[in-house]
A and B are shown apart, each in its own frame.
Chain A
Amino acid sequence: MLTAILALGILAALFGLLLGYTAIRFRVEGDPVANQINAILPQTQCGQCGFAGCRPYAEAIAAGEAEINQCPPGGEAGIRALADLLGRDFKPLNEEHGEHKEKMIAVIDEQVCIGCTLCIQACPVDAILGAAKHMHTVIEAECTGCELCVPPCPVDCIDMVPLHQDVSTWKWPSPDEVATARK
C-alpha cells in the first residue's frame, strides 16, 4: 500500500517537473494562430474591419471576438483562405465594412498641397514623404491604398487612382470572364 502511494507520488512529482520544464523551455512567444491569420490579411492597415490595423484584427479573430468576413481589401479570396486556416465555414463579405474594390493608390496633387503634414500622420505605412510647409508626395511602391490619408486633407488634394498596368504586371483574363463579357 505504502509503496504504491510512494511510487505514484514520485511519478507525479517527476512528471510535474518535466511538464514545468517543457512549459518554460518550449514556450511560444506571441499567438501563433494570430500570426498565421495576420499573414493572410492584406496588410492594407485601413481599419475598415473596425480594428486599428491588420494585427489587432488578426488577434481579435484568433480570440474569437471578430468574424472572418470583415476585411474588404482581402476580398472573397482572403475570406476563403481564413476559413481554410481556421476550419470555419465560408461567409460572404460583411457589407457593413465596405465592399471589395480594385486596388488603388493615393496620388497627391502637388499644385494644391499646402504642406500641412496631416496625411503623413494618417499614413499607416509611412508612404508619404514631406515636411511642414513643404510639398508632400506619395511613394507609389509603398502605398497600400488604404485611403486613410484622404479624409484628413484640408484642401482635398489626394485622389485614389487605379494602379498603372504594364507588361510585367499584366494578367491573362479568365476565359470565363471573357465569355461573359462577350455575351
Chain B
Amino acid sequence: MGKAPHHLHRFHGGLHLPANKTLSSGSPIRALPIPARLVIPLSQHIGTAADVMVKVGEPVLRGQMIARAQGYVSVPIHASSSGTVVDITDHLIPHPSGLSAPCIIIETDGKDTAVDDTLSADHTQLDPSELRNRIRQAGIVGLGGAGFPSFIKLNPGTNRPIATLLINGAECEPYISCDDRLMRERAADVIGGAAILKHALNATECVIAVEDNKPEAIQALRDAIAQRSVSDFAVVVIPTLYPTGGEKQLIQVVTGREVPSQGLPADVGVICHNPGTAAAVHRVFALGEPLISRIITVTGTGVREPGNVEVRVGTPMADVIAACGGYTDRAQRLLMGGPMMGFAVGNDATPVIKTTNCLLVAGGNELPLPQAPLPCIRCGACVDVCPAKLLPQQLYWYAHAKDFDKVQDYSLFDCIECGCCAYVCPSHLPLVQYYRFAKTEIWNQEREREKADIARQRHEYRLFRLEREKDERAARLQQKQAALKTAKGETTAEDPKKAAIQAALERAKAKKASAGVMPKNTDNLTEAQQQAITNADERRRNRDSSTATRSEDA
C-alpha cells in the first residue's frame, strides 16, 4: 500500500460468465459436525497413492498419520478425527470415472482427541528444506482443485530464483465462493501462511491477486497486511474474467510474463499457491494440525441452505448436503467443482477429499444439459475465447479422427480444460470431452509403449537365455564325451584287476605246457604206497568183471 497501482496485463480470450456466487457467499463459514463414518481415500493428490500404515480395528487419533507418502510425488494422509479403523477397502471416490479406489474407513468416537503435535514451530527458525519437509508431513496439497503436492512447488531448484509468490485468490469459476469466504474471515491465516511460503521460497515479494468482485476479501486482506506491518506484501485487484484463476493466465495478468508452452511458472520466476493452501500451511505451523479439513462451497438451487462449510476430509457428500438442509425438489445433478470444470458425481456416498472445493447441486434447467452436437461450421468462436491461444477446432478435428500425433502438434497438452470453447460453440460440440479423451488416450499409448519396451527386452533376454542354455548343454555334453574317451584308453593299459587276471591265466598256461596234466599226488610214491595202489586197481578190476557176469545172468 502506498505503492503505485499495479500495472495489469491481459491474457488472450476468456469469458464473462454469470457469477452466481451470492447464492453461497452471503453467510459465514459453518463448521460441520464430525460424521459417524469417515471414508478417507489413499489417493487425494496428483502422484502415487499413499501407503496404509494402520490395521483394521486399530484406534486412531485426529491428525494421526494413517498412510505414508510413497515415492517423491506423494504426500501422507491423516485421520480427520479420532475413532477406530473399521475397514480398508475399495470405496467410491470423487473421480470422473465413477470408479472405486482403496480407502481407509474410520468409525469416529465423537471425542475428536488430537494426536501429539509434532508439526508446530516458529517458521522463521527453520530452513527451507525443513519447512518443505513439515509441509509434506502435514499432507498439504494444492487446495484449488488440482491437488499437486505443495512441497514440490516450494522446491523450484537453485537455478530458478523465485521473485514472486503469487497467492491465487481469483476464484474465477461461477458458483464457487470458498476462497472468498476464507479470505474475508481468515485473512490473517492466509497472510500468515503466505509469509511461511514466501520464507520457504526465499521470494522477494508476495502478491495476492483477487478478482474485483470480492471487495470484502480485498479489504480484509489489506487490513491483515497492515496489522502484520509487512512491506513486501501486496493485494492486487484484477478484473473479473473467466479463467483468470488459471495459473498461467493469472501470472500473465499480474506480471505480464507468459509461462512457456509445457513450461512451469517457476520458469518465469513465479510460484502460485491457493489461499486455502496458505491457510492450511499456517495451521500446520501455528496449531500443529495437518490437512484434515477444508472449506467447501455447497451451492446450487438443488440444495436448501447453500453456503460455505468447513468439512473434515472423508465426510460423505450426503452428510454435507444433509447439513446444508438437504436436497430440494429441484435437485437434479450433483457436481464436484464448478459448472465449467467440475464433473458429475453419481453417488452421494462419495467422500469429500482434499481437492473438493465445491459441491454443486444443480436444479432443473440450472445448468444446460448437453445438447445434440451439430457439425463444426468453422466459425472460429472457440479460437477467440481460448485463454491458452490454441486452435480448438483443429484440436477437435484431430481428436475426432484419433490422430494423436497431430493433436499433440497443436499443443493439446497446453489446454487447461477451462471449457470456454465448448461454452461458445454454436454447434454444441463437447469439445473439452474430445480433448480429455485424446489426453487419456495418449497417456495410455505411452504406458503401452513402455510395457512393450519391457516385453521386448524380456523376450530378447529369453531368446538369449535359451541360446545360452543350449550352448551350455552342448558344452557339457562335449566335456562328458571327452572324459569318457580318455577313460577307455586308460582301462586297457593299467587296470590292475584285469592285469592280475591276465597274468594268472598266462602263468597257468605256461605251467600246463611244461608239466603236462599229471596229477601231483602220484609223484614220488614209496614202495608200500605203489603196492597199495596196484592192489586197489586189482580189486576194482575183479569187482567190475563179477558185476558184468551178474548183469549177463540177469
> Residues of A at under 8 Å CB distance from B?
38, 41-45, 53-55, 77, 124-127, 142, 144, 165-167, 169-176, 178-179
Contacts and interface: CB of A to CB of B under 8 A. Distances in A.
* Residue from A142, A169, A176 having most chain B Cβ neighbours under 10 A: A176
Nearest to B447: A169
Contacts of A127: 458
B93 A173 contact: no
Interface of B: 43, 93, 95-97, 99, 101, 373, 400, 402, 430, 433-434, 436-437, 439-441, 444, 447-448, 451-456, 458-463, 465
A174 B434 contact: yes
Contacts of A142: 454-455, 458
B448 A165 contact: no
Given A167-B95, A171-B444, A172-B437, A124 B400 contact: no
A167 B462 contact: no
Contacts of A165: 99
Nearest to A45: B459
Contacts of A77: 402
* Residue from A41, A42, A43, A179 having most chain B Cβ neighbours under 10 A: A43
A42 to B, nearest CB: 6
Contact of B452 (A42, A167, A173, A174): A42
Contacts of A178: 433
A36 B532 CA distance: 113
Nearest to B448: A42
A144 B96 contact: no
Given A42-B452, A126-B458, A179-B373, A167 B99 contact: yes
B96 A166 contact: no
B404 to A, nearest CB: 9
Contacts of A167: 43, 93, 95, 97, 99, 101
Nearest to B403: A80
29 contacts: A43-B451, A44-B455, A45-B455, A54-B456, A55-B456, A55-B460, A124-B459, A125-B455, A125-B458, A125-B462, A126-B461, A127-B458, A144-B451, A144-B455, A166-B99, A167-B43, A167-B93, A167-B101, A170-B95, A171-B440, A171-B441, A172-B433, A172-B437, A172-B440, A173-B437, A174-B437, A175-B373, A175-B437, A179-B373
B459 A53 contact: yes
A43 B449 CA distance: 9
Nearest to A103: B448
A60 to B, nearest CB: 17
Contacts of B433: 172, 175, 178
Contacts of A176: 400
Contacts of A42: 448, 452
Given A125-B462, A174-B437, A43 B97 contact: no
A175 B452 contact: no
Contacts of B101: 166-167
B190 to A, nearest CB: 31
A77 B463 CA distance: 28
A107 B462 CA distance: 21
Given A169-B444, A171-B441, A174-B437, A124 B462 contact: yes
B456 A170 contact: no
A6 B95 CA distance: 81
A144 B448 CA distance: 10
Contact of B430 (A45, A55, A125, A175): A175
A137 to B, nearest CB: 16
A165 B447 CA distance: 14
A43 B96 contact: no
Given A45-B459, A126-B458, A172 B96 contact: yes
Contacts of A172: 96, 433, 436-437, 439-440
Contacts of B448: 42
B453 to A, nearest CB: 7
Contacts of A171: 437, 440-441, 444
Contacts of B447: 169
* Residue from A42, A53, A172, A179 having most chain B Cβ neighbours under 10 A: A172
B458 A170 contact: no
A183 B113 CA distance: 55
B539 to A, nearest CB: 81
A43 B465 CA distance: 18
Given A53-B459, A126-B458, A176-B400, A170 B452 contact: no
Contacts of B430: 175
* Residue from A44, A77, A175, A178 having most chain B Cβ neighbours under 10 A: A175
A170 B99 contact: yes
Contacts of B459: 43, 45, 53-54, 124-125
Contacts of B439: 172
B459 to A, nearest CB: 5
Nearest to B49: A168
Contacts of A45: 455, 459
B95 A43 contact: no
A16 to B, nearest CB: 39
A73 B439 CA distance: 22
Given A142-B455, A167-B97, A169-B444, 4 more contacts: A43-B452, A126-B465, A127-B458, A169-B447
Listed from nearest, the 10 A-B pairs whose CB atoms lie closest are A43-B452, A43-B455, A171-B440, A125-B458, A170-B97, A172-B436, A172-B437, A43-B456, A175-B433, A175-B430
A43 to B, nearest CB: 4
A16 B93 CA distance: 71
Contacts of B453: 43
A20 B72 CA distance: 53
Nearest to A179: B373
Contacts of B458: 125-127, 142
Contacts of B451: 43, 144
